[in-house]
């Protein structure tokens, strides 16, 4: 089984520091991600750099993907952008779909489920941690483990629940392939019930759409904590919920979206 090292985002960009810089050039300077140039000149130089080290190919694809998320999707949280550069999305996909890993597309992972679009992963996490520290997070729906890996590069403590046994095992295997990835607690169980014995959580991210947000999950938010989730059936939207007090939650509806349905119980 291949094992890959998580490269620090600054290290990835340092390897491209020889590229010429013009008004379109986008690189990482310190903690500031500025983007990646689309020009033919820069692409030629990148190809030259990559030809000296085949292992950098996916690194450059991730850098390009993140630059597009910043310029086209408005993702600006540097913690999120760095995490997306660090985590090799193609390692969480089978060979048939891995070639499309750095497209902004939801792709099948088996069991009727999908890996979320990078822009959606970035958007949900960015909104959840805006203007605050990233402490303890609970993810509902591990899937192939990709989003959990991104969360692990941002949050201090990560718990991820998956109701489908095959995906639970897949997520664990995929995460284990990456040396240097911070620890993730993967749990097989009913995500709609949450993890009351580990609550409260500063952030809860739900990666499937229910008709409403389960009260069990709302009650596991810390006061001041945020939950972000898709909601609805045919017409879905992202919702952001912040716990204001023991029995008080504030709700904000965001943009339209599309997710697989949130289901109760477990599937072995």
Residue 130 shares a structural domain with residue 250: yes
In a domain, residue 97? The reply is: no
Highest-confidence segment of 14-23, 95-104, 165-174: 165-174
Which tops the pLDDT comparison, 231 or 19?
231
Residue 85's pLDDT band (boundaries 50, 70, 90)?
Answer: very high
In a domain, residue 262? The reply is: no
Catalytic residue among 37, 116, 126, 160: 116
Dihedral angle sign, alpha carbons of residues 168, 173, 177, 179? positive
Residue 36 shares a structural domain with residue 123: no
Q: What is the pLDDT of residue 124?
A: 98
**Average pLDDT over the chain, rounded to an integer:** 85
Residue 68 shares a structural domain with residue 112: no
pLDDT tens for 36-79 read: 443 343 344 334 433 433 344 789 999 999 999 999 999 999 99
Distance CA 155, CA 139 (A): 11
Residue 38 shares a structural domain with residue 141: no
Which tops the pLDDT comparison, 65 or 18?
65
Q: Is 116 a catalytic residue?
A: yes
In a domain, residue 114? The reply is: yes
Q: What is the pLDDT of residue 8?
A: 57
In a domain, residue 112? The reply is: yes
Residue 199's pLDDT band (boundaries 50, 70, 90)?
Answer: very high
Its domain, for residue 71, covers 4-86
Q: For the chain, what is the domain count?
A: 2
| Closest C-alpha among 189, 175, 82 to residue 134 | 82
Mean pLDDT of the 104-112 span: 96
pLDDT over 50 (residue 22): no
Structure tokens at 82: 């760095």
- Cβ burial of 71 (10 Å; 0-12, 13-18, 19+) is middle
Residue 234 shares a structural domain with residue 156: yes
Residue 127's domain is classified under what CATH number?
3.40.50.150
Strand pairing partners for 250?
Answer: 242
């Amino acid at each position: 089984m291949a094992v890959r090292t998580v490269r620090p985002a600054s290290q990835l960009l340092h390897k491209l520091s020889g590229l010429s810089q013009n008004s379109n050039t986008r690189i990482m300077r310190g903690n500031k991600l500025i983007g990646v140039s689309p020009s033919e000149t820069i692409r030629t130089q990148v190809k030259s750099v990559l030809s000296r080290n085949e292992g950098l190919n996916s690194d450059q694809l991730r850098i390009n993907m993140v630059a597009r998320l910043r310029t086209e999707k408005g993702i600006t949280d540097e913690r999120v952008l760095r995490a997306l550069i660090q985590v090799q999305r193609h390692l969480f996909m089978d060979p048939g779909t891995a070639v499309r890993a750095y497209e902004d597309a939801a792709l099948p992972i088996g069991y009727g489920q999908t890996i979320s679009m990078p822009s959606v992963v970035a958007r949900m996490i960015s909104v959840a941690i805006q203007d605050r520290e990233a402490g303890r997070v609970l993810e509902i729906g591990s899937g192939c483990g990709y989003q959990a890996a991104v969360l692990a590069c941002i949050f201090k403590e990560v718990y991820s629940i998956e109701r489908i046994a095959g995906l639970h095992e897949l997520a664990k295997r995929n995460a284990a392939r990456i040396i240097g990835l911070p620890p993730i607690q993967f749990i097989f169980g009913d995500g709609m019930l949450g993890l009351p014995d580990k609550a409260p959580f500063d952030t809860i991210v739900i990666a499937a759409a229910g008709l409403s947000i389960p009260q069990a999950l709302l009650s596991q938010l810390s006061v001041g904590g945020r939950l972000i989730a898709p909601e609805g059936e045919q017409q879905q939207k992202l919702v952001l919920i912040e716990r204001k007090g023991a029995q008080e939650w504030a709700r904000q509806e965001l943009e339209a979206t599309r997710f697989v349905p949130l289901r109760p119980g477990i599937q072995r």
